[in-house]
Amino acid sequence: MPADNVYATKFMVDDIKDNNDRNEVVVVSPDVGGVVRSRALAKLLDDTDLAIIDKRRAVANESEVMNIIGEVEGKVCIVPDDIIDTAGTLCNAAKALKDKGAKAVKAYITHPVLSGPAIERLNKSEIDELIVTNSIPLNKDAKKCSKIRVISIANIIAECITRLSNEESLSEMFL
């Protein structure tokens, strides 16, 4: 069965531009594997600065942040990722960024799984705001978390359904 990825990047870019001073923003890749996605986001944000978190994962669902590559001092750090599960990696990243002088840490996540200790970790963390899409409904604890804000991707999902029903291309939506 053919498949297409549906990207929430436009919604995130619009939200970042609407809610942040462009001169204060740095896009931070949460790991080396996310550099391509983070670089693309930085480019869409008028070629804003890019930083990278170098981490080592000892066991599954746990990570230790080792180093920040790039300048984050006095900056609003935008950390994009596709999914957040137990929030350990993101919370460790936020602490490392604040330890290096970041003004704020805002994560933009497409799929908010938020399982196990995620909400407790977020509440205790250095993360200032977690912006997620509504690709997955939030659980009751996540709905109560003051650090979480949801941006709707309902319009793009509806457009995808319409195009698929009419046997039209989805690719044109993302050009």
Residue-wise pLDDT tens digits, 90-149: 999 999 999 999 999 999 999 999 999 999 999 999 999 999 999 999 999 999 999 999
Alpha-carbon span 156 to 174, nearest angstrom: 10
pLDDT > 60? residue 63? no
Stretch 28-34: mean pLDDT? 92
Answer yes or no: is 155 within a domain. Answer: yes
Q: What is the CATH number of the domain that holds 49?
A: 3.40.50.2020
Cα 120 from Cα 59, distance rounded (Å)? 20
Concerning whether 147 is annotated as a catalytic residue, the answer is no
Radius of gyration of the chain (CA): 16
What does pTM read for this prediction?
0.89
- What's the pLDDT score for residue 59? 65
Give CA–CA dist 79/95, Å, rounded: 13
CA-to-CA dists, residue 110 to 24, 26, 65, 114, angstroms: 23, 19, 22, 12
Query: Looking at the 3D structure of the chain, how many domains does it have?
Result: 1
Which is more confident, 85 or 168? 85
60 within a domain of the structure (yes/no): yes
If you average pLDDT over residues 21-45, what whole number do you get?
95
- Residue 4 resides in a domain: no
Residue 1 in domain: no
Question: What are the beta bridge partners of residue 133?
Answer: 151
Structural domain boundaries, residue 48: 9-174
Does residue 57 lie within any of the structural domains? yes
Q: What's residue 135's pLDDT?
A: 94
pLDDT of residue 57: 61
Q: Is residue 2 part of a domain?
A: no
And the tokens for 122?
Answer: 């977020």
Looking at residue 173, its pLDDT comes to 78
In a domain, 58, yes or no: yes
Q: Does the pLDDT of residue 65 top 60, yes or no?
A: no
Q: If pLDDT is split at 50, 70 and 90, which confidence band does 87 have?
A: very high
User: Does residue 164 belong to any structural domain of this protein?
Assistant: yes
Q: Average pLDDT over the chain, rounded to whole?
A: 92
pLDDT of residue 127: 98
List 55, 95, 100, 103, catalytic entry: 55
Please, which residues bridge with residue 10 across strands?
A: none
